[in-house]
């Protein structure tokens, strides 16, 4: 039997209502962060997702339909047909676009209406109709969309890490939310994950001492960490003194708006970062991650998904999730949107402090009519180079 | 790789917030359309639904309990017992009505309280209690309820199509939402379906060119259509020139408030319409259809449910729904309530334009204290005759 | 065919919007009843629920984590770690408390932060951190929590019925919501059940005439009932004249805030009450019951769960639930929170009238800064004695 003898200070009875920072987290059109995010290209599928079978896509809180016309062009349209609102998910893909099932209006990948078969002469006024659409481009096996103001559309960036291939290497894309520690769609706000990118300390606890050795033993050494601003975001340099006298210097970066630039925590190779991960906010309370990387064997990226005792996340029992938590459990359990009012940030949280500060600066720039960090309108801009990697010294 | 070179006009970034017409769609008590609908009788079950086993019914946004006392009288009561609120779904049916399970209060089919067994002498004040109830009548194998103001209760109409039987014919009722293209309960606003009744053009696209021949090949011919007001609603006359030189004249009607007067699209017989369908708004975002028709074999109406490749709707895979959409897919995908602000109506939509106009006129009449079109207070009124049918000429 | 010929009075068309009494039913922090309830100890688990595997608990609308440190002390903490909000459900139990999985902060059972392993020297400022917690005590096989203002914490009461054991008796605890007639978590407001405690009339209808003999034949006799205020709540004395000329006097009590003091309805023994049941409001629309009682065989309390035709509640079909309703069906079907505005209370409802009146008096006392009925700050107070029991006279 337990009897409380100390004074009962600090009980949960006295806590204040919790709040979250809506400005930093909400992604809808018209919200501050939603508008900042819309100044960049975001991947909304792998190339195979665009096919003759229309596919539902949700990005930044918007529902859209992705397809590929018979000329090979991907299209991304607002779901509800401009005529009467039937979803183009039930549309039929043709040479010239997608045709609504209800009355047959046909739209091309840019939303032009090119046929109205129930109207005289195929629709004398059809040119006045435009199905809402978004520009898309394909690169690195992914389909990127630009969902922002048309006159601010930047060029789709290239990255040195995905352009400079060694002999035998090729680029592979993946949609399994590698690095998220869970299923494809992760049910919490994207920022909870993105802040984790500049949080190297949790590697020594969550991924090493807590749930066994999730990666490799070296990762369990508590690092000395330096945080810095970069040209595109915030980097964390974690230095570990290893038993053999060598030093492991590991550099990761969170590049705005949502790019994970994280070298492999499995240390299969040393050197510069091999893959990039784009965190796509699906809406305010879910996200997913698209990855592209240099590989030598097909499936290498899928094989890098975390396992606990040899099991993938979806194979674990509830008790195993509880006893061997990973990024999914740590971040999703913060809540659909973490209660920022209840945080007690410490020195080890300096990475996310810098990242939030940079986001706020960029929100101000966009609110003032400017273009945020990292966007370029120069189609001849050189590929972006990151300092991230694992270096043994 | 696709590069957008045209100017990016009309993207989804610029679209306005979508809205729907609440006045035309909402069915709750006190809403304009809810009050108009409440001036008519609506079917709320087939006769067999009223039995000694109380049954949950939902109509016009109201939850109710349907039962049949041991004298054979159907009753339709508010679910929560007037005493303490326990649901009469758990009540026991007796000769004189239904008895609440909790403390045994007994109510007849008109809500009178006739016993309170825990009270002295069975309840000295029980006459002051009235369980909320609605009048019901049975006809054509259906149970109709009147849920409107008591002093405006019209007579339950008779229809010539269901009164004048040929030798060997009888009336069969059905609750499978025949014509809805899906399950019994269809998860979208009733008006989306009811407008489809005066939309003969979609037959040539959705039901013929798109998903193969859902009905018969003749239906695939694009018709010439005339729309007209009738005594009770709006009719659509679709004329098709057939290959053999004959003319198929097909007349369908949407009769207020929710009656489908649609001849068989399978053309099994020519002549006047053989069945009627009542669209019951369950609430703002779901509906079902009750049907009654002249048949020669039991089960004929059930056999008229649509099939795709021989399969009923619930037997199709998601991919088959997508590749062979029908009315369910076309209408439900418009959304729980279609976004009327985003519509672009064309000449082929004239039927629904007339129908909405007529609804608005009737809303004004009811708001001004009048009785809407089609109601009659004359118990000797002759059966209503419709012009609908398939005619080969 | 049924035709309504009487005037259509009292139809459901005319009923008013229903409301419930929020003051009496809502349990959240800051609500009147929520604050009254928080002046008492409530069981939030059986002793075995506090273990090295953290367990989610919900009580009075608050989510909490229950665990037991390796020194055997139960702890009840706010789920979200004071550092960054990760749930302590994924924490690891150690000697000194529970450690968060994300960055390893360690908290003792009173919320003190005793380690921050990612911070220099284990956290130089960690003493400023307090994880919100609640005091707990174990008694009668249950874990009780005090969730109210710290300076008003009463002593955890003792009860004569559970202190004075006969030879061979011992105390057994149970978390199956014995007396609720259904599953462990019952989806309606707690007051619907608690009012049932002082409603002996329903025993003769619901439990006897309606669903067969749920208990014993004597219970089917309609009793003469007297209701009284007691030192802690309201008692109901039900007197039944039995066939053999004897008199069964059965006394039950609802003791504030939520204690069921109900002698066995199976009459296995005569004499004073053998078990107590604590109704725990999980939130506004669900509750559960913890029981502790004197038994002679392990499992005696679990064996007292109601059965219908030999089946437990979860083994019944929907039709059996409908034909053989019990407390669960009667109370849950009143709605998530019963519509008090629609009640028509009668003389047989006098018990709940008294109970509501007493609750309102106590709400006023608490609002005025006083301590409510039944709380004691005297650690040497004698066990509480109840008059409840089954007495054959």
**Residues A248-262: tens digit of each pLDDT:** 999 999 999 999 999
Residues of chain C with pLDDT below 50 are 1-5
Task: Using a CB–CB cutoff of 8 Å, tell me whether A298 touches chain C.
Answer: no
CA dist., res. A248 & res. A53, Å (int): 48
Q: Which chains contact C through at least 3 pairs of Cβ atoms less than 8 Å apart? A: A, B
Helix and strand totals (H; E) in chain A: 8, 20
CA-nearest of A68, A146, A74, A43 to B8 is: A146
Question: What pLDDT, on the 0 to 100 scale, is given for residue B212?
Answer: 72
Asked if B103's CB is within 8 angstroms of C202's CB, the reply is yes
Range B324-349 average pLDDT: 97
Given a cut of 90, is residue B2 above it in pLDDT? no
Q: Which residues of B304-326 are buried (b: 16+ CB within 10 A; e: fewer)?
A: bbbebeeeebeebeeeebbbbbb
Question: What pLDDT, on the 0 to 100 scale, is given for residue A7?
Answer: 61
CA dist., res. C282 & res. C188, Å (int): 10
CA dist., res. B46 & res. B57, Å (int): 11
Asked if B84's CB is within 8 angstroms of C205's CB, the reply is no
Q: What percent of chain B has pLDDT over 70?
A: 98
Residue with tokens 């006769």: B47
- Is residue A178 within 8 A of residue A305, CB to CB? The reply is yes
- Is residue B361 within 8 A of residue B135, CB to CB? The reply is no
Smallest Cβ–Cβ distance between A210 and the set C29, C92, C131 belongs to C92
Range A305-334 average pLDDT: 94
Length of chain C: 393
User: In this structure, how many other beta carbons lie within 10 angstroms of the beta carbon of residue B382?
Assistant: 10
Lowest mean pLDDT among A275-279, A302-306, A334-338, B284-288: A302-306
Question: What pLDDT, on the 0 to 100 scale, is given for residue A211?
Answer: 73
Asked if B64's CB is within 8 angstroms of C210's CB, the reply is no
- CA of C196 vs chain B CAs: smallest distance (Å): 10
Length of chain B: 393
Answer yes or no: is the ipTM higher than 0.85: yes
Task: Using a CB–CB cutoff of 8 Å, tell me whether C153 touches chain A.
Answer: yes
Torsion sign, CA atoms B85, B87, B93, B97: positive
What is the pairing mode between strands B259-261 and B275-283?
Answer: antiparallel
Structural tokens at position C336: 């998530």
- Measured in degrees and rounded to the nearest 5, phi and psi for residue C241 equal -85, 115
Task: Using a CB–CB cutoff of 8 Å, tell me whether B153 touches chain C.
Answer: yes
Range A231-237 average pLDDT: 97
Given a cut of 70, is residue B217 above it in pLDDT? yes
CA-nearest of C84, C69, C38, C79 to C256 is: C38
Given a cut of 60, is residue B3 above it in pLDDT? no
Smallest Cβ–Cβ distance between C206 and the set B38, B101, B136 belongs to B101
Lowest mean pLDDT among B46-50, B158-162, B264-268: B264-268
Residue with tokens 């002082």: C198
Alpha helices of chain A — where are they, by DSSP H?
22-25, 32-37, 160-163, 190-196, 201-204, 318-323, 327-332, 350-367
Task: Report which secondary-structure segment, H or E, holds A341.
Answer: none
Task: Using a CB–CB cutoff of 8 Å, tell me whether A12 touches chain C.
Answer: yes
- Is residue B254 within 8 A of residue B198, CB to CB? The reply is yes
pLDDT band at A338 (very low <50, low <70, confident <90, very high): very high
User: In this structure, how many other beta carbons lie within 10 angstroms of the beta carbon of residue B188?
Assistant: 22
Range B80-102 average pLDDT: 97
CA dist., res. A284 & res. A30, Å (int): 13
**A59-85: pLDDT as tens digits:** 999 999 999 999 999 999 999 999 999
Task: Using a CB–CB cutoff of 8 Å, tell me whether B211 touches chain A.
Answer: yes
Lowest mean pLDDT among B148-152, B166-170, B263-267: B263-267
Smallest Cβ–Cβ distance between B87 and the set C14, C210, C333 belongs to C333
Give CA separation, C89 vs A341, B325, C222, in Å.
Answer: 20, 46, 50
Task: Using a CB–CB cutoff of 8 Å, tell me whether A118 touches chain B.
Answer: yes
Question: What pLDDT, on the 0 to 100 scale, is given for residue B213?
Answer: 73
Lowest mean pLDDT among A190-194, A367-371, C113-117, C268-272: C268-272
Asked if B12's CB is within 8 angstroms of A62's CB, the reply is yes
CA dist., res. B365 & res. B147, Å (int): 18
Alpha carbon A329 to its chain centroid, in Å, reads 18
Mutation choice for B interface testing from C10, C199, C323, C343 by most B CBs within 10 A:
C10
| Residue C79 with chain A: CB contacts under 8 Å | 333
- CA of C139 vs chain A CAs: smallest distance (Å): 7
Task: Report which secondary-structure segment, H or E, holds A211.
Answer: none
| Residue C137 with chain A: CB contacts under 8 Å | 1-4
Give CA separation, B238 vs B200, B353, C83, in Å.
Answer: 7, 17, 70
pLDDT band at A216 (very low <50, low <70, confident <90, very high): confident
Residue with tokens 């890098």: A304
Task: Using a CB–CB cutoff of 8 Å, tell me whether C377 touches chain A.
Answer: no
Give CA separation, B41 vs B45, B72, B139, C1, C226, in Å.
Answer: 12, 21, 11, 15, 49
Asked if C118's CB is within 8 angstroms of A346's CB, the reply is yes
Given a cut of 70, is residue B7 above it in pLDDT? no
Asked if A205's CB is within 8 angstroms of C101's CB, the reply is yes
CA-nearest of C126, C147, C125 to C136 is: C147
Task: Report which secondary-structure segment, H or E, holds A185.
Answer: none
Question: What pLDDT, on the 0 to 100 scale, is given for residue A212?
Answer: 72
- Measured in degrees and rounded to the nearest 5, phi and psi for residue B306 equal -65, 145
Q: What percent of chain A has pLDDT over 90?
A: 89
Range B44-61 average pLDDT: 98
Question: What pLDDT, on the 0 to 100 scale, is given for residue B1?
Answer: 42
- Is residue B232 within 8 A of residue B255, CB to CB? The reply is yes
Q: Which residues of C162-175 are buried (b: 16+ CB within 10 A; e: fewer)?
A: beeeeeeeebbbbb
Asked if B104's CB is within 8 angstroms of C12's CB, the reply is no
Smallest Cβ–Cβ distance between C343 and the set B29, B84, B109 belongs to B84
| Residue B103 with chain C: CB contacts under 8 Å | 201-202, 205-206, 348
Task: Using a CB–CB cutoff of 8 Å, tell me whether C87 touches chain A.
Answer: yes
Task: Using a CB–CB cutoff of 8 Å, tell me whether A222 touches chain C.
Answer: yes
Smallest Cβ–Cβ distance between B343 and the set A84, A90, A148 belongs to A84
Asked if A137's CB is within 8 angstroms of B348's CB, the reply is no
Structural tokens at position A136: 């898309």
Question: What pLDDT, on the 0 to 100 scale, is given for residue A215?
Answer: 78
DSSP code string of A242-304: -TTS-EEEEEEEEETTTEEE---TT-SS-EE--EEEEEEEEETTEEEEEEEEEESSTTTTGGG
Give CA separation, B120 vs B100, B212, C38, C207, C311, in Å.
Answer: 18, 70, 40, 20, 35
Given a cut of 80, is residue B359 above it in pLDDT? yes
Question: What pLDDT, on the 0 to 100 scale, is given for residue C4?
Answer: 47
Bond before C257 cis per omega within 30 degrees: yes
Which chain C residue is nearest to residue B87, measuring alpha carbons? C333
């Amino acid at each position: 039997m337990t009897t409380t003898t100390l004074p009962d200070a600090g009980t949960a009875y006295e806590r204040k209502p919790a709040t979250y920072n809506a400005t930093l987290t909400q992604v809808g059109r018209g919200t501050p962060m939603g508008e900042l995010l819309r100044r960049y290209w975001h991947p909304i599928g792998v190339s195979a997702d665009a096919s003759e079978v229309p596919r539902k896509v949700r990005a930044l809180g918007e529902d859209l339909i992705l397809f590929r016309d018979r000329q090979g062009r991907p299209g991304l349209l607002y779901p509800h047909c401009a005529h009467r609102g039937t979803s183009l998910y039930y549309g039929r893909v043709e040479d010239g676009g997608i045709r609504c099932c209800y009355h047959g209006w046909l739209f091309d990948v840019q939303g032009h209406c090119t046929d109205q078969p129930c109207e005289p002469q195929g629709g004398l006024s059809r040119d006045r109709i435009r199905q809402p659409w978004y520009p898309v481009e394909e690169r690195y096996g992914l389909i990127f969309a630009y969902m922002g103001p048309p006159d601010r559309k930047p060029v789709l960036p290239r990255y040195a890490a995905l352009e400079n291939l060694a002999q035998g290497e090729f680029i592979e894309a993946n949609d399994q939310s590698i690095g998220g520690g869970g299923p494809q769609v992760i049910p919490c706000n994207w920022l909870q994950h993105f802040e984790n990118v500049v949080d190297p300390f949790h590697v020594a606890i969550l991924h090493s001492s807590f749930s066994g050795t999730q990666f490799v033993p070296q990762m369990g050494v508590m690092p000395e960490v330096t945080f810095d601003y970069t040209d595109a975001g915030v980097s964390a340099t974690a230095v570990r003194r290893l038993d053999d006298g060598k030093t492991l210097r590991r550099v990761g970066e969170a590049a705005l708006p949502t790019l994970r630039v994280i070298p492999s925590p499995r240390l299969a190779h040393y050197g510069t970062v091999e893959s990039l991960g784009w965190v796509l906010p699906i809406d305010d309370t879910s996200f997913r991650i698209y990855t592209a990387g240099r590989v030598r064997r097909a499936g290498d990226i899928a094989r890098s998904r975390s396992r606990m005792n040899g099991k993938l996340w979806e194979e674990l029992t509830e008790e195993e999730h509880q006893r061997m938590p990973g990024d999914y459990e740590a971040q999703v359990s913060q809540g659909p949107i973490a209660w920022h009012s209840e945080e007690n940030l410490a020195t080890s949280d300096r990475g996310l402090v810098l990242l939030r500060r940079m986001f706020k600066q960029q929100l101000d720039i966009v609110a003032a009519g400017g273009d945020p960090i990292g966007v370029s309108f120069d189609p001849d801009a050189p590929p972006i180079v990151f300092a991230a990697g694992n270096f043994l010294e």
